[in-house]
Structure 1
Amino acid sequence: MKKQLPITRRSFLSATAAGMAVTAFPFGNLSLAKVNRDARFILVLARGGMDGLALFPPHGDPDYRKIRGRLALPKEEDGGFLKLDRTFGLHPAASQLLPFWKRKEMAIVPAAANSYRGNAHREALLHLDSGLDAPSNPQSGWLNRAINAMGGEAVPAVSISDQLPLVLAGPDEKGLIQTVPAATSSLPGFYQRVALLYQDDPLLRTALAQEMGQQQNRQSGLTEDDQAADAGARPVSELSVMVRTAAKALRAQDGARIAVIETSGWDTHAAQGSLEGQLARRFSSLAGGLELLASEMRDDWDKTVVVVATEFGRTNSPNKDLGTDHGLASPMMVLGGAIKGGKTVGAWPGLVSRTSELSKALQPSEDIRAVFKSVLVSHMGVEAATVDKTVFPNSEKIKPLSGLL
């Protein structure tokens, strides 16, 4: 039997009411950097493994249509992907992101992954949130350690969730991190209550019954690890509500400078869809939420960086259920008024592996920590040595990704 890890991403918290203020934690005697206290950083976590190859289809890869099969998007001239450059396109359901690219406020890191090389959500999430190579018993998250390196209380953070995520957690108390409850539309029994309310409306009654049936079918076919993939995050359909809350906190003169927003619904093992379908609807929610975030940040958008990260990508080719399984690397999105966008940053390894004719998973060309390091050092002003030794311990060989900021 597989050994159970002693600490989960939620077990750092004692039983506190949702919305209660909780605190960050120091990590030894850190020399405080001359941080940019006017900069904003927003980390959007796509729990469950988002298919970046669907969001940013690599249409210029010669093996794209052969490998993606029925999940490949139609060509641009046939009403398919929106062209970004010679290699990458954009899923049309996420068309709200296209203006960011044109304004050079969005960049793509073509093939990023954390240090985990397995296919279990739980371990992958621990790697992503802790920032460690072997997080069997993590005592803190990498963003918590970064906040303390920046002075703790001087750079407050906000978590838009019901419980503090591991990425912000730590063992001691210092530096305010406020946990703000997310929207409540996904409370247990929500769909059943709405169905009862509209039981006399044949159109809505049928649509709600179909949605509840699809949810039950998805859950019944998933493993225990898959069912835990969302890690308590809220559905991405609620992103607009969450970004309004985050932006309000980040705009305040003495408010938060860092925000973490968790979204769920990205574990698409079956009936993923291509041009339309469940994943397309989630891309629409993601893009719409990010568009609203830029609007809500107002004059502070030009000093904001947003990183959308997931614990692992999906398989390159579809499975028998026309979904995708757990993969490795994935195209990654960085956007904001403070970045140098309108381009890809990092190498594209290609869909075909050097050691296999049809590789099952995209091979990483960048460590995801290189992206985080770039934001922390170049945008937030954390000392590079502190990032290498304290925020991401023993990571000196991983250099900040150049060209983003």
Structure 2
Amino acid sequence: MTKDNLSSNLNRRQFLTGAATTAAAAVLLPTSMSFAAIPSTKKMVFIHLRGGLDNLALFPAMGDENYQTQRGNLALPSYKDSGAPIRLNKLFGLHPMAEAFLPFWAREEMVFIPASGLPIADGSHFSAQEVFESGYSQLGGDGSGWMGRALQAMGAIQEDTIHFGKQVPMLLQIAGGGNDVVQHIMEAPFEGYGRRLTVVHNHDTLLSPALSQAAAHVEKQRRKLPEDDQTYAKSADSVFGLEKAAREAGKVLTRTDGHNIAVLEASGWDTHEDQGSRTGKLARRLAALSGAIEGLAVEMAEDWNNTVVVIASEFGRSVKPNEDRGTDNGYATSTIVIGGPIKGGRALGTWPGLAEEQLTSTGALKSTVDMRAIFKAVLRDHLGMPLQAINNAVFPRSNEVAPIEGLFK
């Protein structure tokens, strides 16, 4: 065995050993996460919010004259009232429960694109998530995902690509069998699995303490949740899972074994009922999301200066509340880009407006920026991928979608 091969094998062993705590957390915490290594000094974290992020809750368009009327009982109070959002600029505020985002905005490390969308707008989770993950402009791709193709094109080391979760997401698949190139550690498949796993590994000096610690953390967090979230699994998962997963991801990315790409998923954003406004289910999710980024940045320490985080959802929600005090599936939503290299403190793209005639036929926010333009900019300007390769391999037949400019310093 050559010295280089020995070094590579040791790195992989160090990663898998060091990931034991992460694996334990992934088994017990339902947030899905994956890691990969590419030959680069740059780091990237991609967070998929499954279900549809209500961007008018996270970034209320307080400066739009139609905001209060259109949002009805979901509207946040005006700036002069108690419980008001935090003012970001003349048009947008920030939900008060997402205040952990504010330092990134103040340091000009955060950009959001408030009317970003996919090439498809039929309001179906199935369709939107397929297009979101595949990177194609329509349904019927080859089963691969744009992130998987990007990693392959950038020379990701197959043996160092690992996924913790129920199944490898399409986002990370490559044509011809994505599961064959991703080490897959199965998530808890049935009730009580974590408890039984702890018993089986009771004498394992590495796994046993990690599993016990993770289980104790889960139970502690569960007890803090309101009753409605304790009985509504998806809501509970997204509340306590993402922040823990983000911190675990930060620990992995700051080790010296070469892993510099992380993909996280959080469900529970499909807020059809009892969404809440200043408080409630969605407010707790927003607090968890912003807290997750805060925790990630803390774990990254100096590496934060070289890290970019992309937060995206397959679509947004309806502008008006429905009869169940929630929102229905919509279209455009906010895509958020945060990190040390970001030229932040700004909202990018054209705001389409909230007047009735400015909405889609289903009452959703119109899209003015193709999400692929944002993803392309991160791949080109941060990870150094040639635009030709992005247009040909990652997002095929998308030459008309140019990378969005102005994201980076």
TM-score, normalised by the number of residues in structure 2: 0.77
Match of 2:68 in 1: 65
SS in 2 for 1:332: strand
Q: 1:42-53 to 2 correspondence within 5 Å?
A: 42-53=45-56
Match of 2:139 in 1: 135
Q: 1:208 to 1:335 in 2, by over 3 A?
A: closer
Contact 2:144 2:171 in 1 (8 A): yes
Q: 1:167-206 to 2 correspondence within 5 Å?
A: 167-170=171-174, 171-172=176-177, 177-179=182-184, 188=191
Letter matched to residue 114 of structure 2: P
Letter matched to residue 400 of structure 1: P
Is 1:122 the counterpart of 2:126? The answer is: yes
Matches of 1:173 and 1:47, distance apart in 2? 21
CA offset at residue 164 of structure 1? 1.4
Contact 1:72 1:274 in 2 (8 A): yes
Match of 1:379 in 2: 382
Letter matched to residue 107 of structure 2: R
Matches of 2:247 and 2:185, distance apart in 1? 12
Is 1:399 the counterpart of 2:397? The answer is: no
Q: 1:395 to 1:236 in 2, by over 3 A?
A: farther
Contact 1:68 1:317 in 2 (8 A): yes
CA offset at residue 252 of structure 1? 1.9
Q: 1:97 to 1:211 in 2, by over 3 A?
A: closer
Which has the larger displacement, 150-159 or 277-286? 150-159
Contact 1:67 1:358 in 2 (8 A): no
Contact 1:161 1:234 in 2 (8 A): no
Match of 1:363 in 2: 366
Contact 1:152 1:176 in 2 (8 A): no
Matches of 1:384 and 1:278, distance apart in 2? 40
Match of 1:271 in 2: 274
Q: 1:175 to 1:307 in 2, by over 3 A?
A: farther
Match of 2:307 in 1: 304
SS in 1 for 2:80: helix
SS in 1 for 2:168: coil
For residue 254 of structure 1, the aligned residue among 257, 282, 295 is 257
CA offset at residue 108 of structure 1? 1.0
SS in 1 for 2:132: helix
Which has the larger displacement, 117-126 or 135-144? 135-144
Match of 2:352 in 1: 349
Q: 1:135 to 1:148 in 2, by over 3 A?
A: same
Is 1:153 the counterpart of 2:123? The answer is: no
Q: 1:401 to 1:181 in 2, by over 3 A?
A: farther
Q: What do you get for the CA RMSD once the two structures are aligned?
A: 3.3
CA offset at residue 310 of structure 1? 0.5
CA offset at residue 306 of structure 1? 0.6
Is 1:242 the counterpart of 2:228? The answer is: no
Q: 1:271 to 1:146 in 2, by over 3 A?
A: same
Q: 1:209 to 1:327 in 2, by over 3 A?
A: closer
Match of 2:110 in 1: 106
What do residues 109-166 of structure 1 show as CA deviations (whole Å, max 9, x unaligned)?
Answer: 0200111211111111101000111232432100011011111219955545332111
Match of 2:198 in 1: none
TM-score, normalised by the number of residues in structure 1: 0.78
Matches of 2:295 and 2:301, distance apart in 1? 10
Matches of 1:22 and 1:60, distance apart in 2? 39
Q: 1:115 to 1:126 in 2, by over 3 A?
A: same
Q: 1:181 to 1:97 in 2, by over 3 A?
A: farther
Q: 1:86 to 1:355 in 2, by over 3 A?
A: closer
Contact 1:108 1:343 in 2 (8 A): yes
What do residues 220-265 of structure 1 show as CA deviations (whole Å, max 9, x unaligned)?
Answer: xxxxxxxxxx7xx952421122112211221122232111100011
Q: 1:188 to 1:283 in 2, by over 3 A?
A: farther
Contact 2:159 2:183 in 1 (8 A): no
CA offset at residue 187 of structure 1? 6.5
Is 1:281 the counterpart of 2:284? The answer is: yes
SS in 2 for 1:152: coil
Where do 5+ consecutive residues of structure 2 fail to align? 1-25, 28-32, 194-221
Contact 2:249 2:262 in 1 (8 A): yes
Count of residue correspondences: 348
For residue 74 of structure 1, the aligned residue among 64, 74, 77 is 77
Is 1:326 the counterpart of 2:336? The answer is: no
What do residues 293-330 of structure 1 show as CA deviations (whole Å, max 9, x unaligned)?
Answer: 01111111011111111111000110011100000001
Matches of 1:244 and 1:140, distance apart in 2? 28
Matches of 1:43 and 1:319, distance apart in 2? 31
Matches of 2:297 and 2:185, distance apart in 1? 20
SS in 2 for 1:334: strand
